[in-house]
Structure 1
Amino acid sequence: MGKWRRDNSSKSQKSYHNIGSTLFTKGLTKGLWTSYHERWSHRGPLKSQMCGLHMRVPQQAAFEDCLSSKNEERCREHLQSNTALYEKKGGKSWAAVIVSLCTVGGEPAFLFTLRSSKLRGRHKGDVSFAGGKQDPSDTNIVETALREAREELGINVTENEVWGVLKPLNDSNVLFQSGMVIAPVLANLGPLENLSLRPNPNEVEEVFTLTVAHLCNPQNQGYTHFRTGNRYGYTLPVFHSDKYRIWGLTAIALDHTLKLIMPV
């Protein structure tokens, strides 16, 4: 497989492209589901002013400290209470995603994938974290996330790099309808420059990063109103850059993670 190189066209957004192969990138104007309505103004998505979906912009020192050992210890302690939520699964279908923290040039960031447009299902071509359904051979939900990281990104994430598991996300509303319960597993992969990414082309079209500073900027945040039938149903966060739109369960997991690692 060809090597992956970094595109430094934007400080807050890094892309890794497979040299010698063609990648098809989805823009912000891809088709939207008829089951929801996204509110856009002529200047872009309307910013969240309600429901506590996003947070205020932290100070620069907070960005620098979010991956510190002290903050890691605080986050690990906070996430310990979620362990009991995964002990009894009640016969439900479970999946896990690995919410991947990292650094790019020393700057805290998140690692995302663009799902292959060749995949089946509603969310092909969407931005996501690496993840998938739990296999019978997986002893726990963390092992599912680490296995999916190997299969999709070609990297070995150790349990020592895992900070913990966020509260489960229920994938059963009108928007998603899979009936899955999703476990967001938070891990710090360390410097991206030290990782040998080998994305699986059958599942991943593109790998890219967005900095924590970019994602915390209100100019890069929005929200989407969803309806159930003819009535308002709920509101979910949206994050965006010049090239990508992060929505759905990925945006929910990201929003929860930012509130954890960047308390303000």
Structure 2
Amino acid sequence: MALILDPQQVPVIGVDAHLPPVPAERLQPERLRERFRAPPAWQPEVSAERRLGGREPAHASVLVPLVMRDELTVLLTRRTEHLRDHAGQISFPGGRAEPHDPDPAATALREAEEEVGLAAEHVEVIGQLPIYSTVTAFMVTPVVALVRPGFEVRPDPSEVAEVFEVPLAFLMQPAHHRRHAFEFAGDRREFFSMPWERLRPDGGVDRYFIWGATAAMLRNLYRFLAA
């Protein structure tokens, strides 16, 4: 989606309020462990974006960190504006696989510690979602994990502008999933967004526009948990 300068200006063509939210009882840590141990029959809704340019595909992983607060939250980052790929976007912690990483989970854990200081001792990997292919030619494995509170967030200022958490229940409710569509080079292209607002103690509002690959992977998590 690198060709979209301002995704919030792309027309909304629909909101999926007709789809049911994931039941609250399924959003409990033990139920999530059970679901990944014995997955249902399901299909990801979105698995690839139209690739731009001639960059060679590269493997990458992201951590989908579900923080075990009173209700589960999803830890997300806002990337710095100067990065080459997906600058300023909302993302999961993660990045390119290195030759010494034994598997996708190891990549996700290493990248999460490097980017936001999330130590592996706080993280329990419970499963993976199917690979998602991005417009920038990354083959991304989403690694889903439960995270024990008590960790200290230490964002890498060269990559991460902000770390924040969104309630999992909000993201697993399709009434909050918007579909956008636009035309480019004669092709129709679509993407999801999941805008979220947080009230600050001073009465102000922080607004986060979750879209693109991050929203697509969250949509696939919804399909997995709702199946």
TM category (shorter chain) comes to 0.7 to 0.9
Q: Is the Cα contact below 8 Å between 1:35 and 1:228 reproduced in 2? A: no
Question: Root-mean-square deviation (CA), in Å?
Answer: 3.0
Matching residue of 2:10: 38
Matching residue of 2:141: 183
Q: Is the Cα contact below 8 Å between 1:127 and 1:250 reproduced in 2? A: yes
Structure 1 residue 118 displacement after superposition: 2.7
Gaps of 5+ in 2: 43-55, 198-206
Q: Does 1:207 align with 2:163?
A: yes
Q: Does 1:143 align with 2:110?
A: no
Q: Superposition pairs for residues 1-264 of structure 1, below 5 Å?
A: 32-33=4-5, 38-40=10-12, 46-48=14-16, 55-58=19-22, 62-78=23-39, 92-104=57-69, 106-121=70-85, 123-157=86-120, 161-171=124-134, 176=135, 178-191=136-149, 194-233=150-189, 235-242=190-197, 243-261=207-225, 263=226
User: For residues 152-194 of structure 1, what are the alpha-carbon distances to aligned partners after superposition, in whole Å with 9 as ceiling and x for unaligned?
Assistant: 01122259711111100112xxxx2x22211111111133xx1
C-alpha change, 1:120 and 1:71, in structure 2 (3 Å) is: closer
Q: SS at 2:120's partner residue?
A: coil
Task: After the TM superposition, list the runs of 4 or more consecutive aligned residues in structure 1 that deviate by more than 6 angstroms.
Answer: 34-37
C-alpha change, 1:229 and 1:34, in structure 2 (3 Å) is: farther
2:25 and 2:39 mapped to 1: Cα distance? 20
1:232 and 1:36 mapped to 2: Cα distance? 17
C-alpha change, 1:159 and 1:47, in structure 2 (3 Å) is: same
Structure 1 residue 92 displacement after superposition: 4.6
Structure 1 residue 120 displacement after superposition: 2.5
Q: TM-score, structure 1 length as denominator? A: 0.67
Q: Is the Cα contact below 8 Å between 2:67 and 2:147 reproduced in 1? A: yes
Gaps of 5+ in 1: 1-30, 82-90
2:99 and 2:151 mapped to 1: Cα distance? 28
Structure 1 residue 236 displacement after superposition: 2.4
User: For residues 55-87 of structure 1, what are the alpha-carbon distances to aligned partners after superposition, in whole Å with 9 as ceiling and x for unaligned?
Assistant: 4234xxx325412313312223329x9xxxxxx
Q: Is the Cα contact below 8 Å between 2:27 and 2:169 reproduced in 1? A: no
Q: SS at 2:39's partner residue?
A: helix
Matching residue of 1:21: none
| Sequence identity percentage | 29
C-alpha change, 1:160 and 1:117, in structure 2 (3 Å) is: closer
1:155 and 1:119 mapped to 2: Cα distance? 21
2:103 and 2:160 mapped to 1: Cα distance? 24
Matching residue of 2:201: none
1:74 and 1:57 mapped to 2: Cα distance? 16
C-alpha change, 1:117 and 1:157, in structure 2 (3 Å) is: same
2:16 and 2:101 mapped to 1: Cα distance? 38
